[in-house]
Structure 1
Amino acid sequence: MARPSWFDTIGLSPDSQEDGSGIKQAAENVKALIVQEVKNGIPSNRIILGEFSQEELYLCTSQQKGAGGATLSCLLPLCSSLTQGPISGINRDISILQCCGDSDPLVPLIFSSLIVEKLKTLVNPVNVTFKMYEGMMHSVNRK
């Protein structure tokens, strides 16, 4: 099931100002979707989040067990507000796949690399997989 979850991106550098309230609302929208799916009978530990050009914030802060996440050309907003060590609790061992293109003008490869390194400090590092696609811009394709 897809549900858009938006926030404003104010800048594209690691030290750019962020739309904190919009980012938190986007995470709440994801939470509401998961709560509804659990009410529909799907256990939260069977739900994998897939995101394009958004964020893994929900995966890193949720108190509900998730199955994992796949992210494409994503930022990690409010990164500085996240814990400085492994997340405690239920999602420490989730698997996360971070994908990006090396020609992405919106989320440059260096950002994706920084996000992967941050994710490895939050969850079990062996469960974080990074895939880079040569020549791919801020898009998805069938390759």
Structure 2
Amino acid sequence: MAPGSNNVVIDAKDGNHTATIIFLHGLGDTGHGWAETFAAIKPSYCKLICPTAPAQPVTLNAGMIMPSWFDLMTLTHNGPEDAEGIAKASQSIIKIIEEEMSKHNIPAERILLGGFSQGGALSLHTGLRYSKPLAGILAFSCWLPLHKDYPDAFVQGNKEVPVLQCHGEADPLVPKMWGNMTADILKGFLKTFEFKVYRGMGHSSCNEELRDAAAFISKSLPPL
């Protein structure tokens, strides 16, 4: 299974696999970082896949090699972006989506994609541009990559894909301003979009956010 060798997979209970959640970690983390958290809130019929990004040099961190979905060059919203790396990472996630479809007979509309920070950015990029509408996109503490490409880059067939974007009011790494700008873009063309901000939360998660995520997952992936 792409993209890394340390992907975490938690199967649905009792073989009742009717939906899949794919959640992408942030910079420097692995698939293990969010697996336990999402295993606790996912419905029993959902399979959970938490892939691990490949290790590669990150310009923003002085070229240090670490798990990273794509290169990060700057912390400014109008700075240069690794368009080639973003496209490559997106294809690796699409391979996972399509493997669920082809090998496990899970249709795209029963696959929910999400992520935190850099992983959240990749989930937005991939889900909004994918050729088939997904069940939903869950975007934690992130931004919209290549934002200048929108709305032209948006696949019109995905306008009804629900998106829940969450951000900490006190995030020092991905400032809430980035979240605000992303929300301003997304609400312009998405039919079902919600942006939730959590008071006092930094670049992390909180119980309230996870409760909202659990409700979003249950609504987007109801039992069959």
TM > 0.5: yes
Query: 1:30-86: CA deviations, max 9, x gaps?
Result: 111100111111111011111111310111111112011111001111111233496
State how far apart, in whole Å, the 1-side matches of 2:193 and 2:75 are. Answer: 23
Q: Give unpaired runs (5+ residues) of structure 1.
A: none
What residue number does 1:82 align with? 150
Query: 1:68-125: CA deviations, max 9, x gaps?
Result: 1111001111111233496422x1101000001011111111110110111112322x
In the alignment, is the contact (CA less than 8 A) between 1:100 and 1:131 conserved in 2?
yes
Residue among 168, 180, 195 paired with 1:130: 195
- Secondary structure at the counterpart of residue 97 of structure 1: strand
Q: Give unpaired runs (5+ residues) of structure 2.
A: 1-48, 54-68, 209-224
Q: Which has the larger radius of gyration?
A: 2
Instruction: Report the TM-score, using the length of structure 2 for normalisation.
Output: 0.59
What residue number does 1:33 align with? 96
Instruction: Report the TM-score, using the length of structure 1 for normalisation.
Output: 0.90
Residue among 115, 118, 137 paired with 2:182: 115
Give the CA RMSD over aligned residues. 1.6
4+ aligned runs moved over 3 Å, structure 1: 84-87
Larger strand fraction of residues: 2
In the alignment, is the contact (CA less than 8 A) between 1:92 and 1:123 conserved in 2?
yes
Residue among 35, 52, 66 paired with 2:134: 66
Residue among 163, 175, 183 paired with 1:96: 163
In the alignment, is the contact (CA less than 8 A) between 1:87 and 1:123 conserved in 2?
no
Q: Which amino acid aligns with 2:94?
A: K
Give 1:4 shift.
Answer: 3.1
| Distance verdict in 2 for CA 1:122–1:25, change over 3 Å | farther
Provide the aligned length of Structure 1 versus Structure 2.
140
- Secondary structure at the counterpart of residue 167 of structure 2: strand
Give 1:129 shift.
Answer: 0.4
State how far apart, in whole Å, the 1-side matches of 2:198 and 2:96 are. Answer: 30
